[in-house]
Amino acid sequence: MDFAQTKSLFHLPEGVIYLDGNSLGPLPKAAAARVAQTVTEEWGEMLITGWNKAQWMAQPARLGDRIGRLIGAPEGTVVLGDTLSIKVYQALASALEMRPGRKVILSDSGNFPTDLYMAEELIRSLDKGHELRVVAPEDVAASITDEIAVTMLTEVDYRTGRLHDMAGLTSKVHAAGALALWDLAHSAGALPVDVTGAGADFAVGCTYKYLNSGPGGPAFIYVAPDHADVVRPALSGWLGHEAPFAFDLDYRPGRGIERMRVGTPPVLQMAALEAAMDVWDRADIREVRARSIELTELFVALVEESCPELVLASPRDPARRGSQITFRHPEGYAVMQALIARGVIGDFRAPDNMRFGFTPLYIDEDDVRDGVRILADVMQNQLWDRPDYRTRARVT
Amino acid sequence: MDFAQTKSLFHLPEGVIYLDGNSLGPLPKAAAARVAQTVTEEWGEMLITGWNKAQWMAQPARLGDRIGRLIGAPEGTVVLGDTLSIKVYQALASALEMRPGRKVILSDSGNFPTDLYMAEELIRSLDKGHELRVVAPEDVAASITDEIAVTMLTEVDYRTGRLHDMAGLTSKVHAAGALALWDLAHSAGALPVDVTGAGADFAVGCTYKYLNSGPGGPAFIYVAPDHADVVRPALSGWLGHEAPFAFDLDYRPGRGIERMRVGTPPVLQMAALEAAMDVWDRADIREVRARSIELTELFVALVEESCPELVLASPRDPARRGSQITFRHPEGYAVMQALIARGVIGDFRAPDNMRFGFTPLYIDEDDVRDGVRILADVMQNQLWDRPDYRTRARVT
């Protein structure tokens, strides 16, 4: 595939090297027109009839199928909606109900906190003696016992990019009689995922990172076909009902993945996602992965050469990490501010992680070389050592 | 206030009389530019830094305050996010936890089904012997006993527009030691609401009906100031955490209403809502209500005069209904299709309800007269009696 061509499909601001697509992807140029069309031609002209005429009602499933192709999910097994936190909750609640005799949710300390928070409060509200067991990422495999109801793991660690062995762990989970929920927030669009091959029971992810749907784009959920007609979603909104427009007083779950829908879907956000997925339709995720490895390898080599005080926090073996590289520095926050002021946008995660995302659809070797040159300048000349760079603002 | 002027602020398609703003409000003209600006100047140019620079992160609370002014909620007590179904769930779960000794959720059969579904599955997952007691709307007052933990009522019935006495019922609820959750989906922007004066404990609502935020716009939740720092939200996402960017492994609820946030807010949808609220800033909701009563009174009189076969399903007393009028007819579905084909857009709710919303910001007396003239033509000449009008499509 032609990465120069995909790069031309994104709006990248003048003078910016954007290494934060792992947090919020940039604007696909076509998204601006697509959203405008949805606003003026659909909402503006069709009004309420847009739900049918513009197929807004079918969008969550249609987009689900498009994302499914990137994560190895068959048609009709993925649906869009809500936020990742809500989708984690639905999957976890369903999983616990499928394993009533077991009381432990197993997760790891590298999981994104919202997953842990949702689990914590689910357990509290169920009040049935469940336990959220959080172990170190490297101890997950050894902690899969027959006490476990469900594992809740994020494939790619948001801090370091460390990659869990999804297929290997899922197989161990199943051997122990448990279920596997995978959070693909930092995987979908970053590397090939095969939920079917790995045998994942549930998977969730967000669309505003590597998939480039824009700020606040909806989440997605995958439920394995064997479970989809069995699970009873804890969050049972009207659009997950078998016949939403019958307005029955009693809930009957919809067919398959449709039951995981909750409320009215965010049509404007989905319009942006549609345009973003048009770019993905031109991409081969295996080629994206190969290119990502080239870029991260180059970045690591150049940074280690020119910034010896930075410590690599990501796995050195590219096969064991996602599409981001994290370097540690005690003044990482200030360094990142200095970098951003110079047009190299990465981000910072407490306590000392500087994250850099590599997204071949729009980041190339020149960006990597230029970015490292500026980073080296910041480090060698201590350009980060300014009070205003040390003052922490609220960043995502 | 000048209704001709507010009407000029909306895009209304040529040849359409839009009497369905109670389902999906039309496009405020400024929303197109505001959304485009958010897409190109904020997402496009600011990228991840938009969360601070464009204040995306503060938007849910800022918009909450703007909506608060329409429903009598003080600053800092309303926040935007998710869908109404999710917000109902959060409020209900919180209420049940505040009344641990009581087991009954009281609602009525005129409630919008998603509220009932969310309650039903909450009860099922708690598995502690709670009961969802659904009575006829007119029996609610007599059903408020000391068994009730929380009442879950929609102030304006989505089918008929019948209005509950919010202050009177809430007072009775409190006298019985219970809590009151009000769904304002068909109230906010339709008539003056005073959650403070009524003493509501929780309120939720959606923004895409009378508030005109566009398809899939986010919901809002109000928590009474006395409860806001007490409740523990069942859906505890990272943005409801006291310090989301500390990435702690344990959940600590944020201050006040902030804890009701869950995941990343839908920035593009909120941009449309901002523009919609600019229109509301020019409006006096009491004047809107007075005008709405004039319009609905005129509509009822004209329809009853010209279409004797239609049966009024809304309360005849305008003080006892919201801002919609419902007429019944056994062939209501086909009649509505015939009307829509002639540019008069209302909607249909099973089994036989034809709904017409009256929204003075952009609907005037001429619209009412023209709409009724077309309706009378459809009825008098049986223009609805065509097979294609009788075939039910999926509508909202």
- Please give the helix or strand (H or E) that residue B262 lies within, else none: none
Distance CA A174, CA A77 (A): 20
Q: How far is B137 from chain A (nearest CA, A)?
A: 14
B385 and B360 in a single domain? The answer is yes
Give pTM, 2 decimals.
0.97
B277 and B288 in a single domain? The answer is no
Q: How far is B245 from chain A (nearest CA, A)?
A: 7
Q: Considering only residues 97 to 136 of chain A, which have any Cβ-Cβ distance to chain B shorter than 8 Å?
A: 97, 109, 112-114, 116-118, 120-122, 124-128, 134
Distance CA A343, CA A364 (A): 16
Judged by a CB distance cut-off of 8 A, whether residue A265 touches chain B is: yes
Distance CA B351, CA A188 (A): 44
* CB contacts, 8 Å: B396 with chain A: 48, 51, 57, 245
- Please give the helix or strand (H or E) that residue B171 lies within, else none: helix B166-175
Which of A287, A274, A302, A290 has the alpha carbon at shortest distance from A367? Answer: A302
| Count of other CB atoms within 10 angstroms of residue B385 | 13
Q: Calculate Rg over the CA atoms of chain B.
A: 21
Each residue's pLDDT tens digit, B264-281: 999 999 999 999 999 999
A335 and A231 in a single domain? The answer is no
B231 and B292 in a single domain? The answer is no
Distance CA B359, CA A37 (A): 25
Q: Do A114 and B32 count as a contact with CB atoms less than 8 A apart?
A: no
> What is the structure's pLDDT at B396?
42
> What is the structure's pLDDT at A396?
43
B353 and B221 in a single domain? The answer is no
- Please give the helix or strand (H or E) that residue A392 lies within, else none: none
Strands B104-108 and B131-135: parallel
Q: Is B42 a domain residue?
A: no
Distance CA B355, CA B164 (A): 18
Q: Considering only residues 361 to 380 of chain A, which have any Cβ-Cβ distance to chain B shorter than 8 Å?
A: none
Residues of A assigned a catalytic role:
112, 183, 208-209, 355
Q: Which residue has the tokens 């073996």?
A: A317
Maximal C-alpha separation, chain A = 68
Q: Considering only residues 137 to 196 of chain A, which have any Cβ-Cβ distance to chain B shorter than 8 Å?
A: none
- Please give the helix or strand (H or E) that residue A165 lies within, else none: none
* CB contacts, 8 Å: B39 with chain A: 27, 31-32, 35-36, 214, 272
Residue finishing a domain among A251, A281, A311 = A281
Judged by a CB distance cut-off of 8 A, whether residue A85 touches chain B is: yes
A166 and A273 in a single domain? The answer is yes
Residue finishing a domain among A281, A304, A319 = A281
Which of A125, A95, A52, A90 has the alpha carbon at shortest distance from A262? Answer: A90
Q: Which one of A82, A245, A349 has the shortest CB-CB distance to B395?
A: A245
Q: Is A196 a domain residue?
A: yes
Residue A371 has phi, psi (to 5 degrees) of -60, -45
The domain that contains A370 carries what CATH number? Answer: 3.90.1150.10
Q: Do B36 and A35 count as a contact with CB atoms less than 8 A apart?
A: yes
Q: Is B18 one of the annotated active-site residues of the chain?
A: no
Complete DSSP assignment for A75-131:
TTSEEEES-HHHHHHHHHHHHHHH-TT--EEEEETTS-HHHHHHHHHHHHHH-SS-E
Q: How many CA atoms lie within 13 A of B21 on its CB side?
A: 32
Q: Is B209 one of the annotated active-site residues of the chain?
A: yes
Each residue's pLDDT tens digit, A134-165: 999 999 999 999 999 999 999 999 999 999 99
Q: Which one of A40, A232, A269 has the shortest CB-CB distance to B268?
A: A269
User: Domain count of chain B?
Assistant: 2
Distance CA A225, CA A213 (A): 26
Tell me: pLDDT of A394 over 60: no
Q: Do A27 and B49 count as a contact with CB atoms less than 8 A apart?
A: no
Distance CA A356, CA A360 (A): 13
Tell me: pLDDT of A255 over 50: yes
Gap between the terminal Cα atoms of chain A: 32
Each residue's pLDDT tens digit, B313-355: 999 999 999 999 999 999 999 999 999 999 999 999 989 999 9
Q: Is A34 a domain residue?
A: no
Tell me: pLDDT of B140 over 60: yes
Which of A302, A363, A293, A352 has the alpha carbon at shortest distance from A327? Answer: A352
Q: Average pLDDT over chain B, rounded to whole?
A: 96
Q: Do A267 and B216 count as a contact with CB atoms less than 8 A apart?
A: yes
Each residue's pLDDT tens digit, B153-211: 999 999 999 999 999 999 999 999 999 999 999 999 999 999 999 999 999 999 999 99
Q: Is B395 a domain residue?
A: no
Judged by a CB distance cut-off of 8 A, whether residue B352 touches chain A is: no
Q: Is B183 one of the annotated active-site residues of the chain?
A: yes
Q: Which residue has the tokens 């040529």?
A: B14
Q: Do B134 and A349 count as a contact with CB atoms less than 8 A apart?
A: no
Q: Do A82 and B86 count as a contact with CB atoms less than 8 A apart?
A: yes
Q: Hey, CA dihedral for A387, A389, A392, A394, is it positive or negative?
A: positive
Each residue's pLDDT tens digit, A326-381: 999 999 999 999 999 999 999 999 899 999 999 999 999 999 999 999 999 999 99
Tell me: pLDDT of B229 over 80: yes
Q: Is B327 one of the annotated active-site residues of the chain?
A: no
Each residue's pLDDT tens digit, A294-329: 999 999 999 999 999 999 999 999 999 999 999 999
Distance CA B88, CA B182 (A): 9
Q: How many CA atoms lie within 13 A of A384 on its CB side?
A: 20
Give the range of the structural domain holding residue B71, as residue numbers without chain letter.
55-281
Catalytic pick from B202, B208, B222, B356?
Answer: B208
Judged by a CB distance cut-off of 8 A, whether residue A208 touches chain B is: yes
What are the counts of helices (DSSP H) followed by strands (DSSP E) for chain A? 15, 15
Q: Is A18 a domain residue?
A: yes
B206 and B305 in a single domain? The answer is no
> What is the structure's pLDDT at A395?
45
Judged by a CB distance cut-off of 8 A, whether residue A270 touches chain B is: yes
Complete DSSP assignment for B69-126:
HHHTPPTTSEEEES-HHHHHHHHHHHHHHH-TT--EEEEETTS-HHHHHHHHHHHHHH
Q: Is B37 helix (H, G, I), strand (E, B) or coil?
A: helix
Q: Is B35 a domain residue?
A: no
Confidence of residue A54 (pLDDT cuts 50, 70, 90): very high
* CA dihedral of residues A286, A290, A296, A298 (deg, nearest 10): -160
Q: Do A120 and B248 count as a contact with CB atoms less than 8 A apart?
A: no
A141 and A128 in a single domain? The answer is yes
B171 and B270 in a single domain? The answer is yes
Q: Do B117 and A39 count as a contact with CB atoms less than 8 A apart?
A: no
> What is the structure's pLDDT at A370?
98
The domain that contains A179 carries what CATH number? Answer: 3.40.640.10
What are the CA-CA distances from residue B78 to residues A106, B59, B203, B228, B271 (Å)? 35, 12, 9, 10, 17
A149 and A252 in a single domain? The answer is yes
Q: Is A161 a domain residue?
A: yes
B216 and B70 in a single domain? The answer is yes
Q: Is B43 a domain residue?
A: no
Q: Which residue has the tokens 């995958």?
A: A222
Residue of chain B nearest A110, judged by CA positions: B249
Q: Which letter does DSSP use for residue B219 in this model?
A: E
B213 and B266 in a single domain? The answer is yes
Q: Do A116 and B250 count as a contact with CB atoms less than 8 A apart?
A: yes
Residue finishing a domain among A234, A254, A281 = A281
> What is the structure's pLDDT at B392?
73
Q: Do A127 and B126 count as a contact with CB atoms less than 8 A apart?
A: yes
Tell me: pLDDT of A393 over 70: no
Q: Do A235 and B128 count as a contact with CB atoms less than 8 A apart?
A: no
> What is the structure's pLDDT at B393?
58
Q: Which one of A47, A208, A265 has the shortest CB-CB distance to B24?
A: A47
> What is the structure's pLDDT at A108?
98
